[in-house]
Homo-oligomer: A and B are copies of this chain.
């Protein structure tokens, strides 16, 4: 599979509707969850779910606080394997509980996901991911 040009990788990450977020647990194992997110070309931001599901969201936050290394993956599967593509963003995560960046993220997420119109987001922390590396693989022109 050929590498995607950086601008194309960036474009596909921006447009993707869902990504998978990997963090590392205190016991050294990986933790993996699907997330909706916004990418402004520099930073990925995501908003935590309101109610911890068996502590999963808290776990994600605790993981990042102890070990900020995160990886984010978006992909598109096709039965024609030549058309499969994926983009991975590696970086450092930080939980932001409140303040202007948290508030701007809420606006960003509502702009990307109309679904959030009916959600109360004002009391949720965000995760901010500063990217160290963005790589993509796949055919340049989409199937």
Contact = CB atoms under 8 A, between A and B. Distances in A.
A34 B118 CA distance: 32
User: Interface SS of chain A: helix, strand, loop or mixed?
Assistant: strand
Nearest to A75: B34
A42 interface: no
Interface residues of A, number: 32
A18 interface: yes
Contact of A77 (B22, B23, B34, B81): B34
Contact of A23 (B30, B34, B53, B84): B30
B69 A30 contact: yes
Interface in A17-59: 17-18, 20, 22-24, 27-34, 53
Contact of A28 (B24, B71, B137): B24
A126 interface: no
Given A20-B20, A22-B22, A53-B1, A30 B70 contact: yes
17 contacts: A1-B53, A20-B20, A20-B22, A22-B22, A22-B30, A22-B71, A23-B30, A24-B28, A27-B69, A29-B90, A30-B70, A32-B88, A33-B86, A33-B88, A34-B77, A34-B86, A53-B137
